[in-house]
């Protein structure tokens, strides 16, 4: 079974500063993928960044980077130079791979609320 | 239209009504998904379709009935719902390569916010 844990309470960050959103996971799958999504108040889940379990380097996408520490089973999202539009819920998710292939299922954490202050 | 679209965006229905949610993806993907998002709960996967075939039913009550006529369209038929079914229903699609690769990203629609009275 897969599990994603996001335990931070609501996070606040000053505009233009960096913020780290925590995510820990648990899985017994031989390989897996980790995803971060952003959900603004409008409801749409927006894909931000992906990290594969065998990737040697941390993933980066513009202002988003993923601090992947495999031994600690953590995949924290770092947002640099925060903008007011970054205020949203952020979800960490995992997709596993069994011996016969990838699972279709994405397991999501409960999410973290980020508020960016002007 | 691009991406994943969902209609209606908002729906209010009584417990005896029958309604349908529609999802359409314009990304050429072969897999589509229904998720339920209730307040203060993680997203729950409901159904998965690969090449129009249902590959996963996550113990969803029979009052929710999915239909996938082709790889681009997905419906969720609703009947005799309960107030606790009120939630945001999200549709997603992905290009499922089916191999030992877990990087296939799911792209979501804007959701249908359902209220059951």
Name which of B108, B66, B67 is nearest B91 in CA terms: B108
Query: How far lies B57's CA from each of A116, B35, B54, in Å?
Result: 38, 11, 7
Using CB atoms, pick whichever of B56, B92, B99 lies closest to residue A101: B99
Instruction: Report whether pLDDT(A68) > 90.
Output: yes
Are B109 and B54 contacting, i.e. CB atoms less than 8 angstroms apart?
no
Please give the mean pLDDT across all residues of chain A.
91
Q: Looking at residue B16, what is its pLDDT?
A: 87
A21 close to A76: Cβ distance less than 8 angstroms: yes
* Mean pLDDT, rounded, of chain B: 89
- Residues from chain A that touch B55, judged by Cβ atoms under 8 A, are 104
Average pLDDT over residues A26-55: 91
- pLDDT given at position A91: 96
Higher pLDDT, B98 or A21: A21
So what's the pLDDT on residue B98?
62
Q: What is the DSSP string of B81-93?
A: --GGG-EEEEEEE
* Structure token digits, residue A91: 């979800």
Inspect the interface and report whether the beta carbons of A31 and B100 lie closer than 8 Å: yes
List, as ranges, residues 1-30 from B with C-beta within 8 Å of A: none
CA proximity to A34, closest of A114, A99, A97? A97
How many whole angstroms separate alpha carbon A29 and alpha carbon A97?
Answer: 6
Residue B109: HSE in the Cβ half-sphere, 13 Å Cα cutoff: 31
Largest Cα–Cα separation, chain A: 49
The predicted model gives A35-40 an average pLDDT of 96
pLDDT, position B100: 47
Out of A44, A53, A104, whose CB is closest to B55?
Answer: A104
Strand B87-94 versus strand B112-116 pairing type: antiparallel
Q: pLDDT tens digit string along B7-53? A: 999 999 998 889 999 999 999 998 999 999 998 788 998 998 887 77
**Predicted confidence (pLDDT) per residue in A97-113, tens digit:** 655 555 667 889 999 99
pLDDT tens-digit map of B84-104: 999 999 999 998 776 545 678
Residue A48: both structure tokens together: 């931000």
How does DSSP assign B10-26, residue by residue? Answer: EEEE-TT-EEEEEEEE-
Nearest to A97 among B48, B90, B102 (CB): B102
A104 at B interface, C-beta within 8 A? yes
pLDDT one-digit tens code per residue, A80-100: 999 999 999 999 999 876 555
Backbone φ and ψ for B83, nearest 5 degrees, come out as -55, -30
Confidence of residue B1 (pLDDT cuts 50, 70, 90): low
pLDDT in tens, B57-79: 778 999 999 999 998 999 999 99
Q: Closest Cα of chain B to A50: distance in Å?
A: 7
């Amino acid at each position: 079974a897969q599990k994603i844990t996001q335990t931070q309470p609501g996070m606040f960050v000053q505009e233009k500063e960096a913020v780290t959103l925590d995510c820990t996971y648990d899985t017994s799958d031989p390989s897996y993928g980790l995803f971060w999504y952003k959900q603004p108040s409008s409801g749409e889940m927006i894909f931000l960044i992906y990290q594969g379990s065998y990737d040697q380097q941390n993933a980066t996408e513009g202002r988003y980077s993923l601090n992947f520490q495999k031994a600690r089973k953590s995949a924290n999202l770092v947002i640099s130079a925060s903008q007011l539009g970054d205020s949203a819920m952020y979800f960490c998710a995992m997709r596993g791979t069994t011996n016969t292939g990838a699972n279709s299922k994405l397991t999501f954490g409960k999410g973290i609320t980020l508020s960016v202050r002007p | 239209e691009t991406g994943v679209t969902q209609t209606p965006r908002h729906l209010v229905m009584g417990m005896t009504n029958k309604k349908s949610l529609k999802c359409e993806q314009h990304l050429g993907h072969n897999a589509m998904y229904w998720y339920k998002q209730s307040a203060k709960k993680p997203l729950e996967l409901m159904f998965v379709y690969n090449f129009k075939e249902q590959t996963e039913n996550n113990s969803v009550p029979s009052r929710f009935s999915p239909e996938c006529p082709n790889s681009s369209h997905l419906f969720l038929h609703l009947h005799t719902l309960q107030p606790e079914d009120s939630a945001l229903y999200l549709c997603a699609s992905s290009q499922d390569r089916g191999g030992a690769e877990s990087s296939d990203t799911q792209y979501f629609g804007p959701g249908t916010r359902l209220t059951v009275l």
